């Protein structure tokens, strides 16, 4: 009993001591200088989310959010405010905290940086002993994308720095960044990804990175060959990422100097020549990234010697031949991506020892010769076989993969599926990409559960499949689906909130009305119902979709007044109501964010409302083929986006435009400025203010009842490429200023009442005669009607022309003819480039899905550390 009592006493004494010790620590207030430096920093911060509410004099700074102190001294040693939605200015008074070793302000929205006077003084007088900035070892300011730093000299004071990350901060004006970084011989990890750096100092032989282990310079603007100093880095260097630059030339053999390399990222550059055979000598290499370069020849079989390799990515349109069998020996390989122009037949040998493979992407023209009963040695998380010859049916081995997060078999020649088996197989896969095949299947009774669904451009029939609340992206466009939308979209969802943000049902055969159940899908950002056979009026519940960015209802049979109040749709940038039967006045309740508004081919009537002029970001306005009347309001000048006040646009649009006399489809209209009021009943004169819209490329006022003269201000529309004023009642002479439109490649002034001589100028004579037809009082080239001597004399007298001026004008005609031809052919080339961009956009969407799924799989810190 005595022993037991003694034990209790000892325990109580220990507890009492611990409590006393703990109380002593808690009662130790943080250092006054530390607290002062933190409060100076706080004064420069804009804290809209009130994340720093605990930072006050009433509370010990060691208990402030993000602050960590030493348990014994109470001195601040660590400040971590990563991803706290902070804005404003970073005051580097923080560097005066004497024992601060760790500072992370990444993933915020800071826009400026200021130096304390003591730090400024120490830069002027390095011997200043009053400034102590030597304790900091870890500094991360990355992912503050609006932060611009013109000078990094202050970093020279951080002599103990071991980790530095300034990725996604603009350093475009910093020309001596390499010399500044070389002042930190103890640096272990340096990340300067996407910093707008331009000069990698290719001729410098040696840089004092004696301790460097990780170097990330990806996503910059380096356009030289690999610099010499790269090959003379520390023997400890294990990670080099130079991807997403424009580095040129061949990979030099001196790269073998870095024998401890584990990660080599050279993706998305302009490397040429063969992929070096000696790369197989890098025995420690775990990641080799060579995609999107200009390599030629074949993939060397020596890469099969890289037995430590866990990620291999290779692609180039200039590569040829088959995939070496030796790749199948890389038993540590986890991710394999092969793209470009490779071809050939893949057999079991190519995969025989890939026991640890988790991600397989073979985006090239491969065919497969596999035993129907083959069971792969791997279980994949991601597989992409786009552009391979996989079809016509789903191979049996694919059904053995039970851990898939991403399945991409688009463009792979699949035409038939075992419906029940296939839909059951994909039900637990996070992203399925089946687009651009010829798959025939009835979807009426199918329920889809994947988060990301791309099934466009197939032969799917029946009704729209049901989708679960897990679905975020749903694209089933360009199929043969029929029937109403409501059975799929209108069942009650219960309490679960839908994640759907993108829905594309366009280019199908859907009928019935637009359902009135959009409260189920309030998270939608993109909605495409265009090119179907939908009828009825716009239902009231669509007014709940106030997060929309794009909405396309074009080419349906919708009717009635468009009375939806969209003024609170603050993110909406694109709306297309064209080719329906809407009536009444034009919509007036549109948000200020609107950039593209297509209302063509409806029954809208009345005047153009002044509210249309109050959309400051508008770059595309198409009101053609309606029943609009009255005059063109002078307030069109207020559409500031068209007069050169550029607004940032992060979206690409797909539009059907009647441009240059033809109906064309454009996939990227980021630069196109389109104003089309054609085929209405507009009257009166053209307001001179309209011709102050200097950024307009396309202007169509044809087929109206406009009168009066063309204002001479038209010469200021310096970017105009297409002008159509045909079929009006315009009169007077064609102003000489129109000859200043040097980019004009389409002109139609036919069927008006113009008089006099066609002005001599850059390309006005290069257009066909029909551009001026129906103006009986018009003369001069390219018309066959010659102008009389009196007309020529009056024209010369009126314009003050002399012989030398006429000579220069005729010389201009020759130049104009060439420019006119270039405008015509250039537009065709540009169209081709736009189409190319569109298909590259699809590839980027796939890459985005990979990143998004990786975000769910990997720790966020790992993802951020490898971000480019």
d(CA 737, CA 713): 7
pLDDT at residue 755, rounded to an integer: 94
pLDDT at residue 821, rounded to an integer: 28
> What does the pLDDT average to over 127-138?
63
User: Which residue in the block uniquely carries the two structure tokens 């637990």?
Assistant: 428
Distance of CA 127 to the CA centre of its chain: 48
Beta-carbon contacts of 593 under 8 Å, excluding residues fewer than 6 positions away, are 569, 570, 571, 572, 573, 617
Evaluate the omega torsion of the peptide bond into residue 558 and state whether it is cis, within 30 degrees of 0: no
For residue range 345-384, list pLDDT tens digits in order.
Answer: 888 888 888 899 999 998 888 888 888 899 999 999 999 9
The answer to whether the beta carbons of residues 294 and 318 sit under 8 Å apart is: yes
In percent, the amount of the chain with pLDDT more than 90 equals 58
d(CA 464, CA 461): 8
Is 748 a residue whose pLDDT tops 60? yes
State the pTM of this model. Answer: 0.76
Is 780 a residue whose pLDDT tops 50? yes
The answer to whether the beta carbons of residues 716 and 739 sit under 8 Å apart is: no
Beta-carbon contacts of 360 under 8 Å, excluding residues fewer than 6 positions away, are 335, 336, 378, 380, 382, 383, 384, 385
> What does the pLDDT average to over 15-25?
40
pLDDT at residue 134, rounded to an integer: 64
Window from 312-316, 317-321, 743-747 with minimum mean pLDDT: 317-321
The answer to whether the beta carbons of residues 686 and 712 sit under 8 Å apart is: no
Closest among 529, 536, 533 to 559, alpha carbons compared? 536
> What does the pLDDT average to over 826-837?
35
518 or 8, greater pLDDT: 518
Is 613 a residue whose pLDDT tops 90? no
Q: How confident is the model at residue 126 (pLDDT cuts 50, 70, 90)?
A: very low
Strands (E), 498-631: 502-504, 509-510, 526-528, 535-536, 550-552, 557-561, 574-576, 581-584, 596-598, 603-606, 620-622, 627-630
Q: Which of helix, strand or coil describes residue 76?
A: strand
474: left (phi over 0), alpha (psi -120 to 50) or beta: beta
Other Cβ atoms less than 10 A from the Cβ of 53: the count is 11
Is 855 a residue whose pLDDT tops 80? no
DSSP 130: T
pLDDT at residue 379, rounded to an integer: 93
Is 724 a residue whose pLDDT tops 60? yes
801 or 580, greater pLDDT: 580
Closest among 380, 376, 387, 393 to 430, alpha carbons compared? 380
The answer to whether the beta carbons of residues 795 and 756 sit under 8 Å apart is: yes
191 or 787, greater pLDDT: 191
Is 687 a residue whose pLDDT tops 60? yes
The answer to whether the beta carbons of residues 582 and 558 sit under 8 Å apart is: yes
113 or 668, greater pLDDT: 113
Q: What is the SS3 string spanning 522-553? A: CCCCEEECCCCCCEECCCHHHHHCCCCCEEEC
Is 156 a residue whose pLDDT tops 90? no
Closest among 407, 412, 447 to 430, alpha carbons compared? 407
User: Which residue in the block uniquely carries the two structure tokens 């019935």?
Assistant: 512
pLDDT at residue 144, rounded to an integer: 96
Beta-carbon contacts of 541 under 8 Å, excluding residues fewer than 6 positions away, are 516, 517, 518, 519
What pairing do the DSSP bridges indicate for beta strands 76-80 and 138-140?
unpaired
Closest among 657, 600, 638 to 834, alpha carbons compared? 657
* Number of residues written out for the chain: 868
Is 647 a residue whose pLDDT tops 50? no
Percentages of the chain per state (helix, strand, coil), in multiples of 5: 25, 25, 50
Is 546 a residue whose pLDDT tops 60? yes
pLDDT at residue 850, rounded to an integer: 40
d(CA 615, CA 608): 13
For residue range 618-646, list pLDDT tens digits in order.
Answer: 889 999 999 999 999 888 777 755 555 44
d(CA 293, CA 652): 26
Is 656 a residue whose pLDDT tops 80? no
pLDDT at residue 700, rounded to an integer: 96
Is 236 a residue whose pLDDT tops 70? yes
User: For 104, how many CA atoms within 13 A lie in the half-sphere containing its CB?
Assistant: 17
Q: How confident is the model at residue 810 (pLDDT cuts 50, 70, 90)?
A: very low
Closest among 733, 726, 693 to 709, alpha carbons compared? 733
> What does the pLDDT average to over 431-439?
96
Window from 9-23, 108-122, 354-368 with minimum mean pLDDT: 9-23
d(CA 51, CA 85): 8
> What does the pLDDT average to over 89-113?
94
d(CA 274, CA 743): 43
Q: Taking all residues of the chain, what is their mean pLDDT, rounded to a whole number?
A: 83
The answer to whether the beta carbons of residues 568 and 541 sit under 8 Å apart is: no
650 or 240, greater pLDDT: 240
């Amino acid at each position: 009993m005595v022993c037991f009592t003694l034990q209790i006493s000892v325990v109580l004494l220990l507890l009492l001591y611990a409590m006393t010790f703990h109380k002593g620590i808690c009662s130790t207030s943080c250092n006054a200088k530390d607290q002062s430096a933190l409060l100076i920093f706080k004064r420069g911060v804009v804290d809209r989310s009130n994340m720093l509410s605990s930072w006050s004099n009433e509370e010990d700074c060691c208990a402030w959010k993000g602050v960590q102190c030493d348990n014994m001294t109470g001195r601040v040693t660590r400040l971590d405010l990563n991803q706290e939605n902070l804005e404003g200015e970073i005051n580097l008074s923080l560097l005066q905290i004497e024992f601060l070793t760790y500072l992370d302000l990444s993933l915020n929205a800071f826009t400026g940086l200021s130096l304390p006077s003591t730090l400024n003084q120490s830069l002027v007088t390095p011997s200043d002993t009053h400034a102590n900035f030597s304790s900091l070892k870890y500094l991360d300011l990355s992912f503050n994308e609006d932060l611009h730093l013109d000078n990094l000299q202050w970093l020279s004071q951080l002599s103990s720095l071991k980790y530095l990350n300034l990725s996604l901060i603009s350093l475009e004006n910093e020309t001596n960044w390499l010399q500044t970084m070389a002042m930190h011989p103890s640096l272990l990890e340096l990340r300067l990804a996407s910093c707008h750096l331009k000069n990698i100092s290719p001729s410098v032989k040696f840089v004092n990175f004696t301790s460097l282990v990780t170097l990330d310079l990806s996503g910059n603007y380096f356009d030289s060959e690999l610099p010499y100093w790269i090959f003379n880095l520390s023997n400890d260097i294990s990670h080099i990422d130079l991807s997403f630059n424009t580095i040129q030339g061949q990979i030099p053999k001196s790269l073998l100097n870095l024998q401890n390399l584990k990660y080599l990222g050279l993706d998305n550059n302009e490397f040429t020549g063969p992929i070096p055979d000696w790369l197989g000598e890098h025995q420690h290499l775990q990641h080799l990234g060579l995609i999107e370069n200009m390599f030629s020849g074949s993939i060397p079989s020596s890469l099969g010697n890289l037995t430590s390799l866990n990620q291999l990515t290779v692609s180039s349109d200039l590569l040829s031949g088959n995939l070496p069998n030796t790749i199948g020996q890389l038993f540590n390989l986890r991710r394999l991506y092969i793209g470009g122009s490779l071809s050939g037949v893949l057999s079991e040998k190519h995969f025989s020892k890939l026991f640890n493979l988790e991600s397989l992407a073979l985006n090239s023209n491969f065919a497969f010769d596999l035993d129907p009963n083959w069971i792969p040695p791997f279980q994949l998380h991601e597989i992409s076989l786009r552009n391979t010859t996989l079809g016509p049916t789903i191979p049996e081995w694919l059904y053995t993969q039970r851990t898939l997060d991403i399945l991409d078999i688009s463009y792979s020649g699949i035409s038939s599926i075992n419906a029940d088996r296939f839909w059951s197989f994909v039900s637990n896969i996070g992203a399925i990409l089946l687009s651009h095949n010829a798959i025939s299947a009835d979807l009426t009774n199918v329920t889809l559960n994947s988060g990301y669904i791309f099934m466009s451009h197939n032969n799917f029939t029946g009704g729209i499949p049901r989708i679960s609340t897990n679905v975020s992206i749903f694209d089933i466009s360009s199929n043969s689906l029929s029937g109403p939308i409501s059975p799929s979209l209108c069942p009650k969802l219960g309490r679960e909130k839908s994640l759907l943000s993108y829905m594309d049902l366009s280019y199908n055969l859907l009928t019935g009305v637009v359902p009135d159940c959009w409260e189920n899908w309030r998270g939608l950002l993109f909605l495409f119902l265009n090119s179907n056979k939908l009828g009825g009026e716009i239902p009231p519940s669509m007014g709940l979709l106030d997060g929309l960015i794009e909405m396309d209802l074009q080419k349906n049979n919708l009717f009635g007044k468009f009375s939806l109040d969209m003024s609170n749709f603050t993110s909406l940038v694109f709306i297309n109501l064209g080719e329906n039967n809407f009536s009444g006045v034009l919509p007036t309740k549109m948000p200020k964010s609107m950039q593209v508004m297509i209302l063509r081919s409806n029954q809208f009537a009345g005047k153009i409302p002044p509210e249309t002029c109050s959309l400051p970001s508008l770059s595309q306005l198409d009101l053609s083929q309606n029943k609009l009347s009255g005059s063109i309001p002078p307030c069109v000048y207020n559409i500031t986006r068209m007069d050169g006040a550029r607004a940032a646009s992060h979206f690409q649009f797909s539009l059907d435009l009647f441009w240059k006399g033809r109906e064309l489809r454009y996939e990227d209209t980021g630069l196109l400025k389109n104003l089309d009021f054609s085929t209405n009943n507009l009257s009166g004169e053209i307001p001179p203010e309209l011709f102050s819209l200097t950024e307009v490329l396309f202007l169509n006022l044809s087929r109206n009842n406009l009168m009066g003269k063309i204002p001479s201000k038209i010469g200021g529309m310096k970017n105009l490429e297409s002008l159509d004023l045909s079929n009006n009642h315009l009169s007077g002479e064609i102003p000489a200023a129109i000859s200043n439109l040097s980019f004009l490649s389409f002109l139609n002034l036919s069927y008006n009442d113009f008089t006099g001589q066609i002005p001599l100028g850059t390309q006005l004579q290069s257009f066909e005669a029909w551009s001026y037809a129906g103006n009986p009082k018009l003369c001069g080239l390219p018309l066959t009607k010659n102008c009389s001597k009196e007309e020529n004399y009056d024209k010369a007298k009126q314009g003050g022309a002399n012989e030398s001026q006429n000579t220069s004008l005729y010389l201009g005609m020759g130049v104009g003819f060439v420019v006119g031809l270039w405008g015509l052919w250039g537009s065709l080339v540009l169209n081709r480039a736009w189409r190319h961009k569109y298909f590259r956009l699809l590839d980027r969407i796939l890459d985005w899905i990979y990143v998004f799924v990786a975000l769910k799989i990997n720790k966020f810190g790992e993802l951020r550390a490898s971000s480019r």
